[in-house]
Amino acid sequence: MRAGGADMKAGVILFPGINRERDIIIALTQAAGHRPRLVWHQETDLAGLDLLVIPGGFSFGDYLRCGAMAARSPVMAAVRAHAARGGYILGVCNGFQILTEAGLLPGALLRNAGLRFLAMDCHLRVERPDTAFTRLWREGDVFCAPMAHGDGNYFADDATLDRLEGENRVAFRYCTPAGDLAPAANRNGSARAIAGIFSENLRTLGLMPHPEDLVDPLIGGEDGKPLFAALTAA
Amino acid sequence: MERPVDESLAREFGLTAGEYAKIPAILGRAPSFTELGIFSVMWSEHCSYKSSRVHLRELPTSAPWVLHGPGENAGVVAIGEGLAAVFKMESHNHPSFIEPYQGAATGVGGILRDVFTMGARPIANLNALRFGDPALPITRRIVDGVVRGIGGYGNCVGVPTVGGEVNFHPSFNGNPLVNAMTVGIARADRIFLSAAAGIGNPVVYVGSKTGRDGIHGATMASAEFGEDSEAKRPTVQVGDPFIEKLLIEACLELMETDAIIAIQDMGAAGLTSSSVEMAGKGGVGIELDLDRVPQRERGMSAYEMMLSESQERMLMVLRPEAEAMARAIFAKWELDCAVIGHLTATGRIVVRHQGRLEADIPLGPLAAEAPLYHRPMAPPPAPVPLAAAPPDPIGIGPALLRLIACPDLCSRAWITDQYDATVGGQTVKRPGAADAAIVRIEGHRRALALTTDCTPRYVAADPEAGGAQAVAEAWRNLTATGARPLALTDNLNFANPEKPAVMGAFAAAVRGMAAACRALDFPVVSGNVSLYNETEGSPILPTPAIGGLGVLEDAAQAVGIALSAGLALVLVGETGGELGQSLWLREIAGSEAGSPPALDLAAERGNGDFVRKQILAGRVAACHDLSDGGLLVAVAEMVLAGNCGVRLDTPPDRIAPHAFWFGEDQARYLLAVAEPAPLLAAAEAAAIPARRLGLSGGEGLTLPDGVAISLEDLREAHGRFFKDFMG
């Protein structure tokens, strides 16, 4: 299992109701130079894939808790096995929700604090740069990414939050453009302004905002590019 | 049990005595209960356009780039590189008043289906919303529900909501307008139509099960509201955007094959209109076996199934040999599908249910005998121009701060922050960044420019001028981004057509639209008419909403409205200082009087073509058309979008300052350019009026007398209304 390098083999997992797969495919293709494999949620063989990406959307309509149905799809056993083998997993938005519902990341994503869908750019501060996902940023770097979610309010009990922070597993926090953790910058009300977290082995990342939507200077900028470049560049 | 079928039942179903009398003549016998239901919805205003058809014929609908004009599910225009844009706008006004969330949500769902039915992947949603007086508690409830509904549906299906417009006026207190527009992209040689063909071919139903929701929705949309409108809640449909997303993907996957001969969504009047229209257009007959229709509840009658407006359902005619493959695709997407009938050579629609023949109607007369009315019209009263420019009671700076804080001009961020505008990764200009939304076509440099526009108070004061202005403003908004306007879809929202004044205004507005369409080479390719928009006799402002579409060969050529430092502001177009029907007059002088600004279509065309040429030549850094609120409001919007100040020059002294800064003269653009000299020279050579207006830079908006308004004060005023209104 490897990360980095243009021959990185990525798979994008598709559940019914996922709707940001095109955006992720564009970002991965641009970074790697080839298209990722598309994996339908009923497939069970993920052999040969280095990186699994679960995109955003509304899997199964999110009519139960967000991500709860998808977390019980046939493909998820293979996703768990991939994680256990030390494979890389990226979950964005609904993908993050699915990873928490599957128990691959701790905590849960609750309804936004203001009870409204939030669709706007936000700023994220890089909390840990020495991972396969964040290695092209420096600690404290601030980048912009659109958010688009109704349930992005990260929650975990204090013991879990203390542990995440103690183990340095917070990937990104919501901040002002200058990098300050002002309450107004944490629009969805996430605990300790957490926007993304790593698994214990730092090989699974879940985050709510969409870096895949900022990989083109014409489409709002390239702030999201380092994430995909880090995963694919040698 | 079913009631006897007679004239009184027909009246309850919305048919007049004269209309009812035609039915036995067509059938050669009395209609059954189910047949009466079918006639009543097919002949409703909503489905038959019986009051509007004679006028709609005046609208130009063709151009070399138009592939399909009105008459299909949506309009189709060629946009180059073998691609086609498929688009339409449609109203969901009545349901949105009764049940704002579901009314608006299913409005979005319905228009999406009209577009992907034709083989296009939806790439953008827009809307045009009109609400009542913000001081009324019900307005707050309706705004909240409609915005949540549009977001709830569009966000879930993953189609970005990229643009729209919002007005408030007391005439919409009991009747908000919710007009939703979808734009899709298809290969120009792979457009799917609804005309059925192939005797014996299977008729296949796909999507949600049929329930009892929305029965007679089309009839409800064809009547005024009274005191009992609350009791009509059961006629509002409930949307399921997840099923819609599955339908989009499944239909587009099936459309990659040659399985589909004809396809139509089940919209207003559900199974009735879809089956009647498919067979009618194809000149064939159709036989339906309702026992095979996927049903949500037990014991539904044939009448209920034929008139149900349950959402997220499609009807298609397939090649028999492709049926198994189609079933496999629908099974993959976990969608119900069933063969519910077949095509016949009889030219009739035959409906069977539980062994009974429920309907047997000849399709030719059902369409040909549909009522068509030349409703009595009263010519609109001539508008009365303002006698003289009213005096300025508060001064330029205070008026600007009050105008940009008013409900019709304030920041829409509270709304747009609830709509996902970026999904798909192709949104070049998001809401508010440019005069039209810019969405690139995936895998291409090419982009579409999209806008919705209407100024109802102009239409009320002078329907013909107002109709023309709505078309011109949409064309201008597309032009101001650098796009070449191609075509429009319209959504004509008017009150009760049985009132001569309403019908007179309708006819005049259509006449005005037609003139503008011709002058600007901007044909109508699809549309929708929504009449009876009044509650207890109180009519809405006439609102012919326009959805405009233009194309840019390279998305990088698009310009927005954001100002940056060190640019000269250049005003293109003639300024006379027209304050009649202006927002300044309404908000500052407290009067809704006068005639709307004059519209010179030749100047509109000339000025617009000049501006577009300058943009495409790379000479323009930012561009904004002048509309509601006039010149100074446009300056403030450019300042706010770019977070960059400006210093303005002294206006000509032949016009009162407030008329110069807030007059709403048409055919004008404000350009920000690095080098004004060549642009001004080009304007002079082309006899286009253009003048320098100021220089960008600095911390605030500085008026010619040296008074500066800070960016903070502008931003606070602009953002105040929705914060106070919605919390």
In angstroms, the separation between the Cα of residue A101 and the nearest Cα of chain B is: 19
In this prediction, residue B537 carries a pLDDT of 85
Q: Is B156 on the interface with A (CB under 8 A)?
A: yes
The pLDDT, as a whole number, for residue B214 is: 77
Q: pLDDT for B506-517, tens place per residue?
A: 999 999 999 999
Residue A2: pLDDT band (50, 70, 90) is low
Q: Give the pLDDT confidence of B697-717 residue by residue, as tens digits.
A: 998 999 999 999 999 999 999
Residue of A13, A16, A42, A40 lying closest to A28 (CA atoms): A13
Measured CA to CA, the distance from residue A8 to residue B48 in angstroms comes to 58
Which of the 8 DSSP states describes residue A59?
A: G
Contacts A–B by Cβ distance under 8 A: 90
Express as a percent the part of chain A with pLDDT over 90: 95
SS3 content of chain A, % helix, strand, coil (to 5): 30, 25, 45
Task: Please tell me which residue of chain A has the smallest CA distance to B245.
Answer: A17
Q: Which residue among B245, B420, B424 places its CB closest to the CB of A119?
A: B420
| DSSP structure string for B220-253 | HTTS-B-GGGGGGGGGS----HHHHHHHHHHHHH
Test A61 with B427 for CB contact under 8 angstroms.
no
Contact B531, B45 (CB under 8 A): yes
Catalytic residue from among B55, B92, B342, B718 = B92
Task: State the number of CA atoms in the 13 A half-sphere of B310 facing the CB.
Answer: 22
Measured between alpha carbons, how far is B439 from B181 in angstroms, rounded to an integer? 14
Say what the pTM is: 0.97
Please write the tens of the pLDDT for every residue from A121-133: 999 999 999 999 9
pLDDT of residue B652: 87
Assigned token pair, B533: 């928009």
Question: Whole-angstrom Cα distance, residue A20 to residue B426?
Answer: 12
B590 HSE (CA, 13 A, CB side): 2
Query: pLDDT value at position A5?
Result: 56
Q: B501-506 long-range CB contacts below 8 Å, 24 or more apart?
A: B501/B378, B501/B380, B502/B539, B502/B542, B503/B51, B503/B375, B503/B376, B503/B377, B503/B378, B504/B377, B504/B378, B504/B379, B504/B380, B504/B463, B505/B380, B505/B459, B505/B460, B505/B463, B505/B542, B506/B51, B506/B52, B506/B55, B506/B463, B506/B542
Sequence-distant (6+) residues with CB within 8 A of B631 are: B571, B575, B660, B661, B662, B663, B668, B670, B693
Compare CB distances from B422 to A16, A118, A146 and report the shortest one's residue: A146
The pairing of beta strand B700-702 with beta strand B646-648: parallel
For A190-200, how does the pLDDT look when each residue is reduced to its tens digit (9 = 90+)? 999 999 999 99
Query: For all residues of chain B together, what is the average pLDDT?
Result: 96
CB nearest to B423's CB, from A20, A63, A150: A20
Give the Cα separation of B307 and B141 in Å (integer).
30
> B561: which DSSP letter?
S
The DSSP bridge partners found for residue B83 are B80, B187
Walking along chain B (727 residues) 10 residues at a time, the average pLDDT comes out as 85 94 97 96 93 97 97 96 98 94 97 98 98 97 98 98 97 97 98 96 97 76 65 75 98 97 92 96 97 95 94 96 96 96 98 97 96 97 90 97 98 98 98 98 98 98 98 98 98 97 98 98 97 92 98 98 98 97 98 96 98 98 98 98 97 93 98 98 98 95 96 98 93
Is the distance from CB of A52 to CB of A84 less than 8 angstroms? no
Does position A72 have pLDDT exceeding 60, yes or no? yes
Contacts of A210 in chain B (CB under 8 A): 422
Distance CA B64, CA B77 (A): 9
For an interface test with B, give the residue of A12, A26, A58 to mutate (most B CBs within 10 A): A58
pLDDT attached to residue B268 = 83
Q: How close, in Å, is residue B447 to chain A by CA atoms?
A: 11
Radius of gyration of chain A (CA): 16
For residues B635 and B651, is the Cβ–Cβ distance under 8 A?
no
Residues of A designated catalytic:
93, 210, 212
Q: How far apart are CA A225 and CA A136, in angstroms?
A: 10
Query: Do A213 and B333 count as a contact with CB atoms less than 8 A apart?
Result: no
Q: Could you tell me the pLDDT band of residue A1, with boundaries at 50, 70 and 90?
A: very low
Q: B611-645: per-residue pLDDT in tens?
A: 999 999 999 999 999 999 999 999 999 999 999 99
Chain B residues with beta carbon closer than 8 angstroms to that of A57: 158
**Average pLDDT of chain A?**
96
A17 contacts in B (CB within 8 Å)? 156, 242, 245-246
